[in-house]
Structure 1
């Protein structure tokens, strides 16, 4: 038996709107604390975890052979970290999906015997074939059907693109698997600094299956320790299938819900409507820790001095006072009995007081900037991939200026893989002459990594390498000649300009109604 963690929600937003105001942006910090690891009679951890290792065994994993050798070692390290009682399986992923261990499609219970057999089976694996990840994901979902109510976690290791199937096939698999288990994606380099996998593909997989950061692997010697750490983290998750509930009043509707820490992930496709005013969003399995979510609401305008509760946020947490199997009354994708906890109301007041409604909540501003940065780097990669090089360079300049203003020098180092940074503050960059698609993948995925609001230091970039984030020995970042310090806010102080597009008074940099960009128009 296990005592799960306790949960709470803290909200950050500006409660005042102008009388014509219709948009409310809320950052909700979901935090879990406490919880004890249950034990079996032997003193080992209770078997609350089901683990599946999805190991890329396509032909590219054999070139060079060190990739598959280190991948096998990492999988063996993960198996060695599994305590007795945990159910597990290992899958070989190619243009199909085949069981490495056990030989049939089922989960095995970890013991000295099963761990030894799994390690021996891994040592016999070889590389060959293509890459069709939909088969890998569906086989994992089939295996996890044996573990309803448990924490269901997969590690997906790959070095290549999803080249052996249509995009629609992967999309269909993600729609089937979403919310049924969580995954940690690790992506191996083809050679130092160059990656053959597609960051956008892995981000889509991660977003649908738990919204964990995609981590590039450039130092294979660190892979075994990384797999061990992933197992340790999964064992620390004591509560499966948590959902974020957003309930709105008749005055409001949901514009979007996104995770914004530890990585940016749009949760729209995970939405589970409950009724006309209530939507649930699966947010995976939890141990101790916190994540931040950006909830965008649309509200009806009201007269001055009117105050209304427009929405309520809460969490649905599976009942934790029973063993997992007893708490689950349905299948893995049909949540069992849950308690609604942490409910907090979102109240807004409409006002004609300029000093009140022109404020920008610092937490919302922090994550808005990081989302803008992620969009800039992703669209820059898309432009490069389509050979729109001028657009790619311009968008990278935007990403660089945002990273510089946020003090994200680790991201600047990564961006330096694809552009030469001449003036970080103003975003003056030049595409490197030798850049190819393989250089873009690390900037693309790490552009989605974020730093929690109020946390000092780097911006959460995670890369497994033995050097700096850029893959070289220098940490020199070009700076604007006369720039202020790195805490410069790229969102200017709010003014009361009238939008030239729709004549709405603005609250900040962007028009609240049509999203006209005042700063960009002035720069032009």
Structure 2
């Protein structure tokens, strides 16, 4: 993959090669990796950071939360390299500038970092919580540096109680494509969380699809902020897009990010030409790797037909054509062939199943449907146990008694406090990366271009028919023409 704004991006695609002759869904896992460019210098004046610090009244109960939040914000400020544009905002029912005093971005250097740390001393908890107003102020501030890669750290301990849900959704939608967000959610050591998992997951999914991280150990909050800030400061390119191009044989069923967190990107697709859709995937650094699950519905074809049914590419706002990875399948009546599941697809499907089971189980528990809750949460426990996700089993044990982890036998605890379920909901969207082994190599086209050939009533000059995607070597097979 050629450099995009100074950052090369590498793309690999994994999928099952054979599909049933009567049609199927082809599951594709696309892995996008940043690559350290030869020139490793980072222009920090091309970065902008806003820290949204919840200072509502609940942050003072106990006061240790506010102290830890101020210390973590100070640690993030200290980690800002010289030249980065930044601001700190206190969030209540309104959004108020902490530093600088007026609604603008400061430029990080020794003196502005010291002034920002000093300004934090005057932040005291009071008032309500209206997260949408915080995000809109961040958008206004970052709009003053339109050429910079914008990033926001959002810290909260509560739900959006001072604003209508529709206003929060509108604010989030208004920030899409402007910046990415990392959400950190404070709870207590015993697992009680007053924030709303659905709210924070909605913000995270729309604004960069980064994991929402619950924080129960306040002593580790400063290190968490430093780590988030360090990753944000290594980003080299904004506006990266995953592009899916199909043929007349194929339709996109969904596009999801499946690592590092599950996020449905389907509804955020933007038309980019005939049978082509772009899915914004945020800003990238050389250290980033993200995996995407693309599901393609494929029409029926005669057994033995082999076609390219789509292409996946990744690119940014830069000159030059991106490198495409083709999706090629062969139709067959051999069940042993089409029943095989690619390892990477299976890995992420299991984790999506786990997230769905947690969501359904906790929804049923809140509705008082104990039997249904135990069925779904038992499945979640079994999946987590089989995957070695022992920490997830511990989180689920806050709401169920685990009788047999391997067998998925659980008993719902009586009078479950909904505040104990929030961390399980957001953590269920975190995923582990697919293992180190590479899948079998995809079957490739001949090295040289073929002589002109006829297909779909037109002269073809490439290896594949531009009309239907048929490979020139397979075009004469029975049933291999356009359906």
Are residues 1:18 and 2:20 paired?
A: yes
SS in 1 for 2:190: coil
Q: List aligned pairs for 1:83-482, cutoff 5 A.
A: 83-287=81-285, 288-319=287-318, 338-433=319-414, 435-454=416-435
* 1:38 maps to which of 35, 38, 41: 41
Displacement after TM superposition at 1:104 (Å): 1.8
Displacement after TM superposition at 1:362 (Å): 1.4
Find the aligned partners of 1:146 and 1:155 in 2 and give their Cα distance. 18
Answer whether contact 1:154 1:184 (CA < 8 A) is retained: yes
Displacement after TM superposition at 1:404 (Å): 1.9
What do the CA deviations read for 1:246-277 (whole angstroms, capped 9, x no partner)? 11111111111000011111112321122341
Find the aligned partners of 1:410 and 1:339 in 2 and give their Cα distance. 45
Find the aligned partners of 1:112 and 1:136 in 2 and give their Cα distance. 26
SS in 2 for 1:285: strand
Displacement after TM superposition at 1:342 (Å): 3.2
Answer whether contact 1:30 1:290 (CA < 8 A) is retained: yes
Structure 2 residue runs of 5 or longer lacking an equivalent are 438-483
SS in 1 for 2:210: coil
What do the CA deviations read for 1:220-269 (whole angstroms, capped 9, x no partner)? 11111111111111111112121111111111111110000111111123
Find the aligned partners of 2:5 and 2:26 in 1 and give their Cα distance. 36
Q: Which runs of 4+ in 1 moved over 3 A?
A: none
Displacement after TM superposition at 1:152 (Å): 1.0
Answer whether contact 1:37 1:46 (CA < 8 A) is retained: no
- Higher mean Cα deviation, 143-152 or 278-287? 143-152
Question: How many residues align structurally?
Answer: 432
Find the aligned partners of 2:44 and 2:263 in 1 and give their Cα distance. 31
Answer whether contact 1:314 1:340 (CA < 8 A) is retained: no
Find the aligned partners of 1:384 and 1:355 in 2 and give their Cα distance. 40
Displacement after TM superposition at 1:370 (Å): 0.5
What do the CA deviations read for 1:39-82 (whole angstroms, capped 9, x no partner)? 6xxxxx53221000001011101111111111011111111111
Assess, with a 3 A threshold, how the Cα gap between structure 1 residues 195 and 307 changes in structure 2: closer, same or farther.
same
What do the CA deviations read for 1:407-439 (whole angstroms, capped 9, x no partner)? 222221221121111111221101123631111
SS in 1 for 2:22: coil
Answer whether contact 1:307 1:350 (CA < 8 A) is retained: yes
Aligned to 1:502: none
Answer whether contact 2:189 2:217 (CA < 8 A) is retained: no
What do the CA deviations read for 1:421-458 (whole angstroms, capped 9, x no partner)? 111122110112363111111111111111111169xx
Answer whether contact 1:3 1:38 (CA < 8 A) is retained: no
Displacement after TM superposition at 1:339 (Å): 4.0
Answer whether contact 1:317 1:340 (CA < 8 A) is retained: no
Aligned to 1:61: 59
Answer whether contact 2:386 2:406 (CA < 8 A) is retained: yes
Displacement after TM superposition at 1:379 (Å): 1.7
Displacement after TM superposition at 1:386 (Å): 2.4
Find the aligned partners of 2:189 and 2:95 in 1 and give their Cα distance. 26
Displacement after TM superposition at 1:285 (Å): 1.1
Assess, with a 3 A threshold, how the Cα gap between structure 1 residues 379 and 340 changes in structure 2: closer, same or farther.
farther
Find the aligned partners of 1:297 and 1:178 in 2 and give their Cα distance. 26
- Calculate the TM-score normalised by the size of structure 1: 0.80
What do the CA deviations read for 1:360-389 (whole angstroms, capped 9, x no partner)? 111111111100110111122222222323
Answer whether contact 2:5 2:317 (CA < 8 A) is retained: no
Find the aligned partners of 1:222 and 1:25 in 2 and give their Cα distance. 39
Find the aligned partners of 1:136 and 1:205 in 2 and give their Cα distance. 12
SS in 2 for 1:242: strand
Displacement after TM superposition at 1:94 (Å): 1.1
Answer whether contact 1:260 1:450 (CA < 8 A) is retained: yes
Displacement after TM superposition at 1:148 (Å): 2.3
Displacement after TM superposition at 1:341 (Å): 2.4
Find the aligned partners of 1:38 and 1:409 in 2 and give their Cα distance. 40
Displacement after TM superposition at 1:306 (Å): 1.2
Aligned to 1:7: 9
What do the CA deviations read for 1:304-358 (whole angstroms, capped 9, x no partner)? 1111111111112233xxxxxxxxxxxxxxxxxx544231010111112232212
Find the aligned partners of 1:222 and 1:454 in 2 and give their Cα distance. 29
Displacement after TM superposition at 1:4 (Å): 2.9
Are residues 1:80 and 2:56 paired?
A: no
SS in 1 for 2:271: strand
Displacement after TM superposition at 1:286 (Å): 1.0
Answer whether contact 1:179 1:270 (CA < 8 A) is retained: no
Structure 1 residue runs of 5 or longer lacking an equivalent are 40-44, 320-337, 457-524
Answer whether contact 2:197 2:423 (CA < 8 A) is retained: yes
